[in-house]
Structures are given as C-alpha cells and as structure tokens.
Amino acid sequence: MARIADQKTDFPQWYLDVIAQADLAEHAEVRGCIIFKPYGYALWEAIQRDLDARINELGVQNVYFPLFIPESVLQKEKDHIEGFAPECAVVTHGGGKELTEKLYVRPTSETIIYSTFARWLQSHRDLPMKINQWANVVRWEMRTRPFLRTLEFLWQEGHTMHATKDDADAMVRAALQMYADFDREMLAIPVLIGKKPEHEKFAGALYTLTTEALAKDGKAIQAGTSHNLGQGFSEAYDVKFLSKEGKQERPFMTSWGLSTRIIGTLIVVHGDEKGLRLPPAISPTQVVIVPIYKTDDEKNAVMKAAVEIERSLDEVRVTLDWRDEKSPGFKFAEWEVKGVPVRIELGPKDLEKQQATVVRRDTGEKSAIPLAQLNGISVRALLQKIQENMLHQAEEFLKNHTHVAKDYAHMKDIIDGDGGLVWAPWDGNRATAQKIQDELKASIRLLGDPAEAKGKKDPASGAPATEWALYAKSY
C-alpha cells in the first residue's frame, strides 16, 4: 500500500491519505464535491441508523421537503437569507428557458419548512410539532476538504414548534444532549457543550448551542448544533395557532442538525500513523478474519476453521477475507488503514496449537487466544473494552489539550504551538474576538460560566471581562 503522510508533520496530507487508502471517498468532477465510496457510505448509514432511533425517541417524525426553495420564500426572513446568501447556489434556467423566479438549492430548510408549517399548524392541540429530514444540502464553500467542508453534504435537520419559549428551550437542550450522548456512546468522542457567542450564532436564531470536539492537530470541530429560533420565523412566515384561551399566538421554533462532517471528525479525533481507527459501535466491520496458508491442504484446513470462527461470532459484524490474490501482509495493512477494531489471524501453526492470533487496532496488542474461547460473548466483551479505551484515550487528549490562558502571550504560545482549547476571559466585544481571530486565527467556540470571568480582564483588550470563552483554531 502507498505511504501515509506523517500525522505530526503534515496533518492535512495525512488526512487526505487516510481517506484515499481507507477507500472512504474520492473527489468528484465538480470541485468541492466528493463521491462516497461503499465503505464511507456504510459509515454514514451506521451513523444514520443509530441517530435516527435517538431522534424518534424525542417524539420526532421523519419527512422530506424539496431541494429547491423559491426566492420569494427564502427572502421572507431577512437575517436568515443575509447569513446564507454568500453560500447559496441559484437556479436561473430550467427546461431550456429562463425561470420567472429564481430557485435556491437548499442551504438549509428553515424557510421552506416554516412556510409549510403555516398551513399545518392550526391549534394548540397540534403542538408540539416535531419533524426531521435526512437530506443533502448545498453551500458554495470556497475552501473545501472531504467530509469536513464540501459544496454538497448529507445531514439530518430537525425542526420543531412549541407553544412557549420554555418548551423550545427544553427541545434545544434535549437535541444537543442527544448529539453529545451519540458522540460519546457511538463515536467514542468526548465533546464540550456550550452556547455560541452572539456573532457566531445561526442566522436568524435567538441563540445557538454547540458540541465541540478536539482533533489530534489541536483544532476544534463542531459535532452537532441546536438553535432556538424564537418567533422570528413564525412572524416572517405568518405561522400561528389558536391558544387554549382562544387567542392567536405565534409558536416558538427550533432547529438542530448533524452532518457528514462527523465522519471527518471520526478521522481527525481517532486516526493514527497507520490510518483510520474506528470505535466498534460504529464500525461497519467489527472483526476481520484473515486466513494464512500456502498449500491447498493448508487452505482447506484453515478456511474450515475460519468459517467456524465466523459462525461462532454471533451479534458481531464479521468479514472473512477470502481473497487469494492478496498476501496476508497486504490484508493486515489494508484492514489497519480501514480502522477495523479487531483482526483475527489464523494459520497452520495456529491450528496446531488450537489458537488464533487476535490483534487490537486501538493498541496494536497481539494475543494468542484458544479457539474454544473465541465466541460471540468473548469477542463482544473485547469490542466493549476497545470502545471504552478509545473514549478514554480521546478524553485524556482533550483534558491534556485544554488550557486556561494566563495572559495574551500564553494564549498565543498555546495556539501557535501544539494547539488545543484555551479558556480565557472575554470582554463581550465582537471587535476583541475579531482581533484574536485576525492575530491568532482562533475563534470563540463556545461560552462557559460567566461567573468564571468575574473580576478578570480580557487578555487581548485589557477591558473587564463579562464572559468566559473557549478559543481554538477550528475546521
């Protein structure tokens, strides 16, 4: 297999090499778009299955809305369209003719969904109204990177309506906690939770909550966001309902989403010098069996035993690598770069000893395990250990790369050095945040407890702090 760039010295190239060699995706003919290959799309399907079940547990039903949004519909919410206008793709011709009204290719679906909500919502008895769609989205990004930032990407977007702000607040928190739990339990990714500053919130929202993960190159990355939209969209699209008191009221709305960026997050959080490392809970293949033989007699005996092992691993996603045209060494390297959690090697010498060699992808540890002990129960237990260890490793990395700024020079040293997350007092002034963005290339990822900033001064401006802010370079 081709060489993978060194993760520590050339992280961007390492990332691209891993995607290519793990056979996750390739560049499409349109700049900034990617083709999901079977293994990459299998990851998205696994994410989709688990997350969809969690979404349904919140009482949310799946729907699907059109890809195209009429200009007249989009422009009803001024703040929203201004926030997305630079990234919008616009259709001006169709069927060989110029359209009488421009159509916008979906950058997000608030506008078209809420214009529909105006027809669906009549009474307080219709509330809460909770829907979700799995869809593709187009945002005309100038700088792209597979999975992390592409012109077209896949995602889920939840949209809800509530009678009160308190109910909407509860939904926003529940959606965010769902993402945090999913990140932790399925992806073995610990995240920090908090509110975005006013200048970083979703266009048209009252506020935005975010989950932030940390990549191995010290950059932050969003792993799911949730927004309280207040009544702004209700007013723009004339959405209202008859209250219990017989009055016309406007609902409070929320939206929340997670995209295929999460696949990129998996790579940059868990990947190592050998390639991808997948947590067992999300891995399309949890165990690969690689038979080793030279002669036909050896092949017959080894394959018979390999099939028996495969059959014994109930409730485990197993792949038996039958390929004769590839050497065992090639297979080892290929499955390592794909990040499969467990590899079982089985050859004639192993059969003589009635054992198999079991290799953990998370640690590289090799163990000789008696064949009689290789079964669904023992392997599932091993997979659980791997899942827990990968979470522990990511937690330790997050802990060791989260700092509190002593002063501006210290803040600069951290961000310009190994990177990571830096807590610092903030004076609440957007100009100060922009100064740090311009000088250090670091933005405010989320806000912490304002009490932590009491009595402190902003390290960049010297002004009294009003907020406790988390800074980092980011994707």
Kindly state whether residues 79 and 190 are assigned to the same domain.
Answer: yes
Say what the pTM is.
0.95
pLDDT at 37 over 80: yes
Range of the domain at 458: 404-472
Give a yes or no: residue 389 inside a domain. Answer: no
- Please give the helix or strand (H or E) that residue 391 lies within, else none: helix 376-400
pLDDT at 85 over 90: no
Q: Which of 258, 234, 58, 88 is nearest to 157 (CA)?
A: 258
- Residues making up the chain, counted from first to last: 475
Kindly state whether residues 379 and 412 are assigned to the same domain.
Answer: no
pLDDT at 141 over 90: no
List CB contacts of 217: < 8 A, sequence separation 6 or more. Answer: 11, 268, 419
C-alpha span between 261 and 234 (Å, rounded): 30
Mean pLDDT confidence for 440-457: 97
Mean pLDDT confidence for 136-155: 94
pLDDT at 122 over 80: yes
Kindly state whether residues 432 and 374 are assigned to the same domain.
Answer: no
Q: What is the CATH number of the domain that holds 195?
A: 3.30.930.10
Q: What is the mean pLDDT of the chain?
A: 96
Q: What pLDDT, in 10s, does the model give residues 218-275?
A: 999 999 999 999 999 999 999 999 999 999 999 999 999 999 999 999 999 999 999 9
Kindly state whether residues 40 and 128 are assigned to the same domain.
Answer: yes
Kindly state whether residues 113 and 160 are assigned to the same domain.
Answer: yes
C-alpha span between 364 and 259 (Å, rounded): 31
Q: What pLDDT, in 10s, does the model give residues 168-180?
A: 999 999 999 999 9
Q: What is the CATH number of the domain that holds 444?
A: 3.30.110.30
Residue 78 CA: distances (Å) to CA of 74, 82, 103, 232, 420: 8, 6, 17, 10, 36
pLDDT at 206 over 80: yes
List CB contacts of 355: < 8 A, sequence separation 6 or more. Answer: 368, 369, 370, 371
Q: What pLDDT, in 10s, does the model give residues 275-310?
A: 999 999 999 999 999 999 999 999 999 999 999 999
- Given this model, what pLDDT does residue 123 score? 97
Kindly state whether residues 19 and 94 are assigned to the same domain.
Answer: yes
Mean pLDDT confidence for 103-132: 96
Q: What is the CATH number of the domain that holds 297?
A: 3.40.50.800
List the Cα angle 247/248/251 in 5-degree steps: 120
Mean pLDDT confidence for 389-398: 98
- Given this model, what pLDDT does residue 75 score? 85
* Bond into 284 cis (ω within 30): no
Give a yes or no: residue 6 inside a domain. Answer: no
Kindly state whether residues 69 and 139 are assigned to the same domain.
Answer: yes
Kindly state whether residues 375 and 233 are assigned to the same domain.
Answer: no
Kindly state whether residues 103 and 216 are assigned to the same domain.
Answer: yes
Into how many domains does the chain fold? 3
